[in-house]
Amino acid sequence: MKIGVIMGGISSEREVSLKTGQEMINHLDRSRYEAVPIVVTQRADLITQVQQADIDFALLALHGQYGEDGTVQGALETLGIPYTGSGVLASSLCMNKQLSKMLLKTAGIQTPAGLYWKDVYDPQAVEQLGYPVIVKPNLGGSSIGVQLVHNEKELLTAVQEASHLDQGILIEPYLKGTELTCAILDGEVLPIIGIRSAHSEWFDYRAKYEDGGAEENVIELPPVIRQRVREAALASYQLLQCKVYARVDMILCQDMPYVLEVNTLPGMTANSLFPKSAAAAGMTFTQLLDRIIASSLHERKQEWG
């Protein structure tokens, strides 16, 4: 099978995407697949490059806007090329943190309260929320543009930086607790990973992508709490209509899991959490990719008939 590994893109997460794509190529089973790197540098490239490559299947290594937000998925559907992961709707919903949080709250799934700003700056509202707060772009990932803010003086700078990446900004109370991530594959929750940053108070970009930036290990939770975490992860996955695989990031605060976001194309770099969780479940990176490809082919066949 001729597989196009689509990576790069135009989002702030381009460099992470290139690492994900290369890692996928390194671990694809060469006896089963012919890997073709497709590096996207601008929107107009995608369709031409995919058609020229004459691929049978698209392995998506993209992150962020124009990659994880449903646009590339829609383009591939138009071309009739099956692709990995969730469909257009789930991709779009999960990319928009504000919208997905509203849906989670409506369904009774715990997620941090907060403010959503667009063309607004209201420090008094943040004062009422209470410092410290987390400021983040609404559309984005890899903790790019995300800052922990302790007071009003830091707030303006953080908002300005986040607004360079997206018009919409989320401001949430900083919940002190244990950061967790739940990898889900074919509706099954893989071993839960607990994260502790080595350099900062939270799991920032540096912690995610620098060697030794964080301690990430399978975490042993009391059975009742573990069940609570698993249920919250699966409920989020199902509510937002995710398919094949996704990663649900949470913070465990006073034994209650709060869902931070759902990633429909989680990172697959050498340091990424999803492969670590799969390894803890006894899967090699190559076996994980085999599962993702087979399940995605089945899903697209179900959807497209």
Instruction: Read off the pLDDT of residues 35-73 as tens digits, 9 standing for 90 and up.
Output: 999 999 988 889 999 999 999 999 999 998 888 999 999
Q: CA 161, CA 143: separation in Å to the nearest integer? A: 13
Domain finish residue from 173, 189, 220: 173
The enclosing H or E element of 37 equals strand 34-40
Q: What is the pLDDT of residue 138?
A: 86
The amino acid at 69: D
pTM over 0.85: yes
pLDDT below 70 — which residues of the chain? Answer: 140-145, 198-214
* 156: CATH: 3.30.1490.20
Q: CA 196, CA 131: separation in Å to the nearest integer? A: 22
Query: Is position 303 within any domain?
Result: no
Q: Which residues are catalytic?
A: 13, 142, 209, 247, 249, 261, 263, 267
On whether both 18 and 66 belong to a single domain, the answer is yes
Q: What is the pLDDT of residue 114?
A: 87
Is the four-CA dihedral 157, 198, 185, 38 of positive or negative sign? positive
Q: What is the pLDDT of residue 199?
A: 60
Q: Kindly state the DSSP code that residue 11 receives in the 8-state scheme.
A: S
Q: CA 151, CA 265: separation in Å to the nearest integer? A: 34
On whether both 231 and 97 belong to a single domain, the answer is yes
| Among candidate residues 85, 84, 90, 48, the one with its CA nearest the CA of residue 69 | 90
On whether both 188 and 168 belong to a single domain, the answer is no
* 226: CATH: 3.30.470.20
Distances (CA, A) of 65 to 11, 85, 151, 168, 250: 5, 16, 30, 13, 22
On whether both 228 and 269 belong to a single domain, the answer is yes
On whether both 273 and 145 belong to a single domain, the answer is no
